[in-house]
Chain A
């Protein structure tokens, strides 16, 4: 069972990354906040069955699920309206990177986000996406290639 202390500490540490993960899927600040808000509520309610060592990855998975719910809701309510892309508040040198990541299809974008933004191991990230580790590696490889192509420059992944 997850203690309140571990819940608070882990959620606080992961908050920024989770928000940006949600934003990268939903492209809308209010919806991203909703997704994270719902995910926090749900993980708190289910904390009795969550292990401390898997909590971070679990939280990321619930955030992605909540994003899916919101996307479905959007489709039901106003199927033709896609959200506008908010302007990034990032340093100029990163704008190209932001644009390139935004152009990636979601099945390439999420591996990049989970590994390099949310700091999950490949195994954790694969579990989060409910795919085998090898499939995750394969997608990550393609995503890196696509990013290099979009940016037209060498990208060193650290």
Chain B
């Protein structure tokens, strides 16, 4: 008996191919660019005139409480909130931002660099974002590190000004566990479930996030609860998050393991460094050195775990910046001047990492650029520059067709093979059909029926669309031929394991399978369903047919009986039948919720 395999998020995550570092860098850049972009034109949201008048009155009342010395919260209450309800737009125009900036300066509100950026958006800016920018300066960058009183106040301002529809944010009432209580509950839970964490309340080790909500998803899911997160600020400590009901009951607890206590795996080193130090593009030279040291220890202890990139990161050297080297900015500028370098479109996303090649410090510069086509892609233009004399050592530009060379943080000469490492089998037969067509993993009749069905006659897209149109999105009600073809298309080019098949000419028919399944359920004593003829007649029936699911070469019918209580699909029972012999292999019932 093989040992059991545990499947959870961490293991599933580790079992799937990693995102190439370049792709990750690119996507994280995109997130940052989007969330900071200026040129975005928001969809305007209209408020009713009556609501605007009501909001003006409400907010004017708030502004009557004007303070002498203006702070961030006061500025929001006295000026931004009243100004926000003056019109129905979700954004302030350039002129309105100028006016708000003047008012802020006149009232002595410190204008930080962040706030300056918000006020100086050339095409105007979201009202909500300007309010956030002011409050971030006053209360801290991370919203969830503010006190729950400030969070609730802020959320209610947004609701009152019409910038948010509703909020669950509130403050604990008498009888609810306090923040301190909730943190102690979490601390005790950690000690009981894992190990005591003496640094949990040390703000230099953990950033504390907290939210308190009065939530209602539906009649069955409502209540008051704390969200707590203990975000580890270094590599060695575990991170934790909790949902704690207002009664003090722990509804959910999660741990993100640190690396300090035992040797981590290579995967954990990558994961942890990216969690603590952010995207690789922003790592300092010291972080790279530390990362390499930890990665080496992990590989020595556990091997590279199949992470090919580990050996690449270990095989190169890293340099620390010295005064005689050209700066990162200068290296990026030199890269931009290389013939063929991309224009200015994404130039704000350029970055560089300092490496060393046999003792020579090298800046590897990545200049993202957009490639237009049916699907827009952003790929890097990679330039390596001698950090001592500014000489361009090489230029490499991955193409959409060969993505494998996309390693913005590895010396290009160390990347062993930019071509595919394995030779793919033929993807197409000489007759134009897929390479796997006529494979002996399925009988001859199968391919003939599917040929006749039209799949290889040129318009697969139209055919598949017609299945969705005619039979709906639930593929288990599609004709067997369509079930087989959609599976071939989506998941099974190698035809390994079990896959949807078709009955052979001598197999029991669909009608016979149905009759057999009904007989089996009527006689069944194991599921406890006790179905009679009338009950079976009231159920919908779906048929699936598979090859190789019982054993290699097997052909199996599965007949499922489905009900729709309150409009929702529920498979009440299913019967598995050997298609060759008609023998009932399994009668199963009450699947929903089982596991």
Contact A135:B569 (CB < 8 A) given known A8-B32, A16-B19, A153-B4: yes
In-complex Cβ contact of A82 among B8, B14, B427, B474 (8 A) = B427
A135 contacts B570, C-beta separation under 8 Å: yes
Closest chain A residue to B560, Cβ basis: A138
A48 contacts B20, C-beta separation under 8 Å: no
B20 contacts A29, C-beta separation under 8 Å: yes
Closest chain B residue to A16, Cβ basis: B19
B491 contacts A156, C-beta separation under 8 Å: no
Q: How far, in angstroms, from A146 to B496 measured CA to CA in the complex?
A: 13
User: Which B200-226 residues sit within 8 Å CB-CB of chain A?
Assistant: none
B499 in contact (CB, < 8 A): yes
Contact A70:B375 (CB < 8 A) given known A89-B307, A103-B492: yes
Contact A131:B143 (CB < 8 A) given known A80-B432, A103-B491, A149-B549: no
User: Which A1-50 residues sit within 8 Å CB-CB of chain B?
Assistant: 1, 3-8, 11-12, 15-17, 19-20, 23-25, 29-30, 32-34, 36-38, 40-41, 44-46, 48-49
In this complex, the member of A1, A24, A32, A106 whose beta carbon has the largest number of chain B beta carbons within 10 angstroms is A1
B306 in contact (CB, < 8 A): yes
Q: What 0/1 readout, one digit per residue, does chain B (407-444) give for beta carbons within 8 Å of chain A?
A: 00000000000001110110110001111100000000
Q: How far, in angstroms, from A42 to B568 measured CA to CA in the complex?
A: 30
B569 contacts A33, C-beta separation under 8 Å: no
B308 in contact (CB, < 8 A): yes
Q: How far, in angstroms, from A114 to B292 measured CA to CA in the complex?
A: 33
Contact A132:B308 (CB < 8 A) given known A41-B34, A48-B42, A97-B5: no
- Cβ of B424: which chain A residues have Cβ within 8 Å of it? 84
User: Which B63-83 residues sit within 8 Å CB-CB of chain A?
Assistant: none
B17 in contact (CB, < 8 A): yes
B595 contacts A97, C-beta separation under 8 Å: no
B26 in contact (CB, < 8 A): yes
A132 contacts B427, C-beta separation under 8 Å: no
Contact A98:B15 (CB < 8 A) given known A72-B461, A79-B460, A138-B570: yes
B7 in contact (CB, < 8 A): yes
- Cβ of B180: which chain A residues have Cβ within 8 Å of it? none
B508 in contact (CB, < 8 A): no
| Interface range for A | 35 or more
Q: How far is the CB of A69 from chain B (nearest CB, A)?
A: 8
Closest chain A residue to B459, Cβ basis: A79
- Cβ of A5: which chain B residues have Cβ within 8 Å of it? 35, 132, 143
Contact A34:B427 (CB < 8 A) given known A90-B16, A92-B306, A140-B595: no
A20 contacts B434, C-beta separation under 8 Å: no
Q: How far, in angstroms, from A22 to B282 measured CA to CA in the complex?
A: 25
Closest chain A residue to B163, Cβ basis: A1
A130 contacts B473, C-beta separation under 8 Å: yes
Q: How far, in angstroms, from A147 to B496 measured CA to CA in the complex?
A: 13
A75 contacts B460, C-beta separation under 8 Å: yes
Q: How far, in angstroms, from A49 to B494 measured CA to CA in the complex?
A: 42
Q: How far is the CB of A33 from chain B (nearest CB, A)?
A: 4
- One of B96-104, B322-330, B523-531, B586-594 contacting the partner: B586-594
- Cβ of B35: which chain A residues have Cβ within 8 Å of it? 4-5, 7-8, 44
Q: What 0/1 readout, one digit per residue, does chain B (537-567) give for beta carbons within 8 Å of chain A?
A: 0000000000001000000000000000101
B505 in contact (CB, < 8 A): no
Q: How far, in angstroms, from A90 to B27 measured CA to CA in the complex?
A: 21
Q: What 0/1 readout, one digit per residue, does chain B (471-491) give for beta carbons within 8 Å of chain A?
A: 001111000000000010111
A20 contacts B473, C-beta separation under 8 Å: no
B374 in contact (CB, < 8 A): yes
Q: What 0/1 readout, one digit per residue, does chain B (43-70) give for beta carbons within 8 Å of chain A?
A: 1010000000000000000000000000
In-complex Cβ contact of A102 among B27, B374, B491 (8 A) = B491
Q: What 0/1 readout, one digit per residue, does chain A (98-112) give for beta carbons within 8 Å of chain B?
A: 111111111101001
A40 contacts B592, C-beta separation under 8 Å: no
Q: How far, in angstroms, from A5 to B448 measured CA to CA in the complex?
A: 56
A30 contacts B591, C-beta separation under 8 Å: no
- Cβ of B460: which chain A residues have Cβ within 8 Å of it? 75, 79
B4 contacts A75, C-beta separation under 8 Å: no
Contact A80:B461 (CB < 8 A) given known A33-B27, A106-B490, A135-B570: no
Q: How far is the CB of A18 from chain B (nearest CB, A)?
A: 9
A56 in contact (CB, < 8 A): no
A8 contacts B19, C-beta separation under 8 Å: no
A144 in contact (CB, < 8 A): yes
User: Which A43-87 residues sit within 8 Å CB-CB of chain B?
Assistant: 44-46, 48-49, 51, 53, 70-73, 75-77, 79-82, 84-87
Q: How far is the CB of B10 from chain A (nearest CB, A)?
A: 9
A105 contacts B13, C-beta separation under 8 Å: no
Contact A155:B7 (CB < 8 A) given known A70-B375, A94-B15, A137-B593: yes
- Cβ of A106: which chain B residues have Cβ within 8 Å of it? 487, 490-491
Closest chain B residue to A141, Cβ basis: B591
Q: How far is the CB of A11 from chain B (nearest CB, A)?
A: 5
A158 contacts B8, C-beta separation under 8 Å: yes
Q: How far, in angstroms, from A106 to B486 measured CA to CA in the complex?
A: 9
Q: How far, in angstroms, from A88 to B305 measured CA to CA in the complex?
A: 11
Closest chain B residue to A8, Cβ basis: B35
Closest chain A residue to B17, Cβ basis: A88
B306 contacts A95, C-beta separation under 8 Å: yes
Q: How far is the CB of B470 from chain A (nearest CB, A)?
A: 17
Q: What 3 A-B pairs come out closest when comparing CB atoms?
A: A94-B15, A132-B568, A91-B305
Query: Can you list 9 A-B pairs, Cβ within 8 angstroms, ordered by A?
Result: A12-B28, A19-B23, A32-B23, A40-B27, A75-B460, A91-B306, A94-B11, A95-B306, A138-B571
Residues of B within 8 A of A (CB): 1-9, 11-20, 23-24, 26-28, 30-32, 34-36, 40, 42-43, 45, 90, 126, 128-129, 132, 143, 163-165, 168, 265, 267, 302, 305-309, 374-378, 400, 403, 420-422, 424-425, 427-428, 432-436, 458, 460-461, 464, 473-476, 487, 489-494, 496-500, 549, 565, 567-571, 591-595
8 A-B pairs besides A75-B489, A80-B427, A116-B7 with CB distance below 8 A are A4-B132, A40-B31, A73-B375, A79-B460, A89-B308, A91-B14, A100-B497, A106-B490
Residues of A within 8 A of B (CB): 1, 3-8, 11-12, 15-17, 19-20, 23-25, 29-30, 32-34, 36-38, 40-41, 44-46, 48-49, 51, 53, 70-73, 75-77, 79-82, 84-92, 94-95, 97-107, 109, 112-113, 116-117, 119, 130-135, 137-138, 140-142, 144, 146-147, 149-158
